């Protein structure tokens, strides 16, 4: 089984990782851990530079370093549980990147976290987990944290 595990920088990343390590059978399962970074992280770029001269290079480098740390930690947990785990960082819109990677890698299952968000933000941006569940060519599991909203 090929499991694509899409993580962001939230408490859901650990919940997704722990769920796979605890509930999935290792057997011949391959886990690919994916994180998607923004192509133009303006808020971070302004913090690295100024509003007038944002430092996109520094912002992208920091994003990739944080992603690498997040994914290496997840892969280590999964390998300790007996999984064959690799990781990859993509750039772009998370919805599109997750769906494209699932197709290209021929995933049997995509596992994502649910932020449980709603309201205006969800209406404006849409839910990544909802988009993946609606459009993926394979099964999708959405992991929730009990009591989170």
pLDDT tens-place string over residues 80-93 = 999 999 999 999 99
Q: Pairing state of beta strands 109-113 and 84-91?
A: unpaired
Question: CA 13, 110, 25: angle at the middle one, nearest 5?
Answer: 85
With a cut of 60, say whether residue 10 has pLDDT above it. Answer: yes
pLDDT-derived band at 110, boundaries 50, 70, 90? very high
Q: Pairing state of beta strands 30-37 and 139-143?
A: unpaired
CATH number for region 2-143: 3.40.50.620
Q: Pairing state of beta strands 109-113 and 2-7?
A: parallel
Q: Pick 44 or 97 by higher pLDDT.
A: 97
With a cut of 60, say whether residue 126 has pLDDT above it. Answer: no
Residues in the chain: 149
CA distance linking residue 64 with residue 86, whole number of Å: 16
Residue 108 has what pLDDT? 97
What's the average model confidence in pLDDT over 42-54? 78
Helices 94-105 and 128-135 pack at an angle, to 10 degrees, of 40
Residue 69 has what pLDDT? 95
With a cut of 70, say whether residue 138 has pLDDT above it. Answer: yes
pTM for this model (two decimals): 0.84
């Amino acid at each position: 089984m090929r499991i694509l595990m899409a993580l962001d920088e939230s408490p859901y990343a650990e919940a997704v990782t722990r769920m796979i390590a605890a509930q999935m059978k290792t057997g011949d399962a391959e886990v690919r851990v994916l994180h998607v970074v923004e192509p133009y992280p303006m808020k971070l770029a302004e913090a690295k530079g100024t509003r007038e001269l944002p430092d996109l290079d520094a912002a992208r480098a920091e994003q990739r370093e944080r992603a690498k740390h997040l994914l290496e930690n997840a892969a280590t947990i999964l390998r300790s549980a007996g999984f064959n785990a690799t990781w990859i960082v993509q750039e772009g819109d998370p919805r599109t990147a997750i769906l494209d990677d699932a197709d290209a890698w021929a995933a049997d299952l995509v596992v994502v976290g649910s932020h449980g968000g709603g309201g205006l933000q969800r209406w404006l941006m849409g839910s990544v987990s909802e988009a993946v569940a609606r459009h993926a060519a394979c099964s999708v599991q959405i992991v929730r944290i009990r009591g989170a909203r």
